[in-house]
Structure 1
Amino acid sequence: MRILVTGGAGFIGGHLAERFAGDGHDVVVLDNRDPFYDLDIKSHNVEAGRAAADASDGSYEFVEGDVRDAELVTDLVADADYVYHQAAQAGVRPSVENPRKYDEVNVGGTLNLLDACRDEGIERFVMASSSSVYGVPQYLPYDEEHPTTPVSPYGASKLAAERYACAYSEVYDFPAVALRYFTVYGPRMRPNMAISNFVSRCMNGDPPIIYGDGTQTRDFTYIDDILEANVTLLEEDAADGQAINIGSTDNIEIKTLAEEIRDQLAPELELVYEERHDADAEHTHASTERASELLGYEASHTIREGVSKFIDWYRENREWYEPLVRNS
């Protein structure tokens, strides 16, 4: 199969492109190498994709470009069977400073892809959405019927993008699926995430920094579970036109997460607390019943298991990864 992965030099997109290429598919990656975090991590993602293609019957091509470039997007979609749209302007807190960029990239860029996919008649469009679309919880865990009232421009832009995708699926008889990810983590993850920060600080004798009182809870999802949900959509068509939660099996308080990482790496350290950011969600927790029913999805990693695997990977890759984390 010919698969276009937008944002394929990023964390999730990079792992998807690597998996698809390793499975023998022909993969084209579109990424603008936005310096939201250290570009050397993105270079490692590209290298991993190329290595996976070299070890299989697949192929891998990297195209540096932007989803806001409608002409380029149209050209790339014309050669694709499937489009996995992972490209986005990331970050809840930065979206407060520059909301219009989030609209241009996350909404406008998605519309460029949807128009091209509709016109070309591709097999399926799968996009990365976010738990940020839910906003303040009225109940937990979030199911897909929960009201969507995002509290950040980032969340609003992701909600608009997924609604366009589902509307296109309905109006144009167009196969599209939006996967709502819940705080994905794992090898080569973005360096400004809580888990990578906690691990890096503890390994270097610095106390973990918690924003707020630490009672906020998160549903962290290990990258391998995200991959399985996406790969299933190469074959499964029961989910077309829907938004689907892809989360973990449990959730954890940020304070408890920091303590567990601290206790594994540097038990003598005391936790440090700083002021919480207003745009941060208080709680997230996914109901994955719809994913189980439609995709046969079942998370294979608890948060503690996944964090332990990430710490092991971090130790093995510390020489190149840690300086990028600590300098971000």
Structure 2
Amino acid sequence: MQILVTGGAGFIGGHIAEGLAKGGHDVTVIDSYVPYYNLGIKDRNVDATKAAAAATDGSYTLVEGSITNEDLLDELVADTDVIYHQAAQAGVRKSVEEPAKVNRFNVDGTVNVLEAARSHDIDRVVVASSSSVYGKPEYLPYDEAHPTTPVSPYGVSKLATEQYTRVYNEVYGLPTVALRYFTVYGPRMRPNMAMTNFVSRCLHGESPVIYGDGTQTRDFTYVGDIKRINEQLLEDDRADGEILNIGSTDNIDITTLAEVIRDEINPSLELEYGEPREGDAEHTHADISKAAEILDYEPTTDIRDGVQQFIDWYRENQEWYDPLVRNS
């Protein structure tokens, strides 16, 4: 099958592309290679997918370009069966600084992807959304009926992204699915996330720094579960037209997360606290019953097992992944 993964050199897109290549599919990745973080991590994602394709009858093609380039997208989509749209300008705090940029990439870029898919009668478009669409909770866990009142431009852009995805299904009959990811983590994740910061500082004998009072909670989802549900949607049409929460139901407060990481690496360290970050949601917690009912979705990795796996991976790859080692 011919598959296009937008943002396929990134964290989640890279894992999805690698899994599809392992399945023997012909995978094309478009990625803009914007240096939002160390591009060497993207190179590792590309290398992993190339290796997966080389071990099967599939193929892998990397195209450096942007989803804002309509002509390029149209050319790529013309030879595609299924699109996994993962490309986005990520980062809540970055969106507060540059809201127009986030809108251009996340909203306009998504419309470009959907238009190209509609023009070429694509079999399915699977679009990445985010728990950031919910904003301040009226109740927890969030189900898909919860009001969407995002508290950052990034959250607004993701809300627009998934609503365009839904409308293209309802109005044009394009088979689409939008997945609301809840704080995805795992190997090759962006190095500017709380979990990576905690691990890096602890490995270097420095106290983990928590921004805010640490009572904020997150539903952390292991990237393997995200990859698996995306692979399922390659041929499973039961969720067409739907917006679904994809989380772990494994809610943890940030102080406890820091303690779990600290205790595994260096129990002698004290926790430190800083000022809260603007635009960060206070709580996320996924109700995944809809995804379970429609797609039989069930997360497989709880937060403590996932953190241990990530720490083990981090230690093995610290030389190229850890910013403090890389820049020393």
Structure 1 and Structure 2 fold alike (TM over 0.5): yes
Aligned residue for 1:179, secondary structure, equals strand
Residue identity opposite 2:98 in structure 1: N
Pick closer, same or farther for the CA change 1:235–1:324 going to 2, 3 Å: farther
Q: Is the 8 A contact 2:318 2:325 kept in 1?
A: no
Pick closer, same or farther for the CA change 1:254–1:326 going to 2, 3 Å: farther
Tell me what 1:50 maps to: 50
Deviations 1:266-292 (A, max 9, x none): 111111100002311000000000111
Tell me what 1:159 maps to: 159
Q: Is the 8 A contact 1:249 1:301 kept in 2?
A: no
Residue identity opposite 1:73 in structure 2: L
Q: Tell me how far apart the structure 2 counterparts of residues 311 and 179 of structure 1 sit (CA, whole Å).
A: 27
Tell me what 1:223 maps to: 223
Q: Is the 8 A contact 2:319 2:326 kept in 1?
A: no
- In structure 1, the gaps of 5 or more residues are none
Deviations 1:128-178 (A, max 9, x none): 000000000000000000001101000000100110010000000110110
Q: Tell me how far apart the structure 2 counterparts of residues 103 and 157 of structure 1 sit (CA, whole Å).
A: 6
Tell me what 1:98 maps to: 98
Q: Is the 8 A contact 2:320 2:326 kept in 1?
A: no
Deviations 1:106-130 (A, max 9, x none): 0000000100101110100001000
Q: Tell me how far apart the structure 2 counterparts of residues 270 and 240 of structure 1 sit (CA, whole Å).
A: 48
Tell me what 2:187 maps to: 187
Residue identity opposite 2:137 in structure 1: P
- In structure 2, the gaps of 5 or more residues are none
Q: How does 1:255-274 map to 2 (within 5 A)?
A: 255-274=255-274
Tell me what 1:147 maps to: 147
Tell me what 1:40 maps to: 40
Deviations 1:39-91 (A, max 9, x none): 00000000011000001111100000000000000110111000000000000
State the 1:235 CA deviation. 1.6
Q: Is the 8 A contact 2:166 2:242 kept in 1?
A: yes
Aligned residue for 1:305, secondary structure, equals helix
Aligned residue for 1:137, secondary structure, equals coil
RMSD: 1.0
Q: Is the 8 A contact 1:200 1:326 kept in 2?
A: no
Q: Tell me how far apart the structure 2 counterparts of residues 249 and 178 of structure 1 sit (CA, whole Å).
A: 19
Tell me what 2:201 maps to: 201
Pick closer, same or farther for the CA change 1:326–1:137 going to 2, 3 Å: farther
Residue identity opposite 2:163 in structure 1: R
Q: How does 1:52-91 map to 2 (within 5 A)?
A: 52-91=52-91
State the 1:323 CA deviation. 3.0
Residue identity opposite 1:261 in structure 2: I
Q: Is the 8 A contact 1:93 1:277 kept in 2?
A: yes
Q: Tell me how far apart the structure 1 counterparts of residues 236 and 272 of structure 2 sit (CA, whole Å).
A: 46
- Relative to the length of structure 2, the TM-score reads 0.98
Tell me what 1:132 maps to: 132
Aligned residue for 2:215, secondary structure, equals coil
Q: Is the 8 A contact 1:2 1:79 kept in 2?
A: yes
Residue identity opposite 2:321 in structure 1: Y
Q: Tell me how far apart the structure 2 counterparts of residues 131 and 323 of structure 1 sit (CA, whole Å).
A: 27
Runs of 4+ in 1 over 2 A off after TM superposition: 323-327
Q: Is the 8 A contact 2:2 2:82 kept in 1?
A: yes
Tell me what 1:244 maps to: 244
Q: Is the 8 A contact 1:135 1:150 kept in 2?
A: yes
The yes-or-no answer on 1:317 pairing with 2:307 is: no
Aligned residue for 2:322, secondary structure, equals helix
Pick closer, same or farther for the CA change 1:325–1:100 going to 2, 3 Å: farther
Aligned residue for 1:178, secondary structure, equals strand
